[in-house]
Amino acid sequence: MARIFEINLAKYHVGKLRFHYDGQALPAGDATLEVRGGLGETWEFFCKKEGSNDFSIYGDQWRRFAASRLNATITLSKEDNENFYRIEVRQFV
């Protein structure tokens, strides 16, 4: 499994999440990522490469996802044999 990022969601991530990634699990250019949650939820997040190893995730579905999970820790990953991405959410109280 390729872990793409793990981050604590803050308000400034809602519009666009910028992150650094050195692996091969993300597309080389602009793409729509099919993302699945642990309870069978699915989303489509836009992903854009913004530099040699810098990326951003954004879009309407990302904004709704992030706004409802502020202060949670999220992890995005991809299994080698899957054509979608997995997102894990850990809420802290």
Beta-carbon neighbour count of residue 11 at 10 Å? 10
Residue 9 pLDDT class (50, 70, 90 cuts): very high
Please tell me the distance from the alpha carbon of residue 72 to that of residue 37, in angstroms, as a whole number.
14
**Up-side HSE of residue 80: CA atoms within 13 Å toward CB?**
1
Cα distance between residue 1 and residue 31, in whole Å: 20
Q: Rounded to the nearest 5°, which phi and psi values hold at 22?
A: -100, -5
Q: Work out the pLDDT band at 38, boundaries 50, 70, 90.
A: confident
Q: For the chain, what is the mean pLDDT?
A: 94
The pLDDT value given to residue 92: 65
**pLDDT tens profile 19-35:** 999 999 998 889 999 99
Residue 71 is predicted with a pLDDT of: 94
How far from 11 is each of 8, 14, 16, 63, 71, CA to CA, in Å? Answer: 10, 6, 10, 10, 8
Q: Which tokens belong to 85?
A: 């991405």
Domains of the chain and CATH, by start: 2-91 (2.40.330.10)
- The token pair at 27 is 């597309």
d(CA 91, CA 20): 23
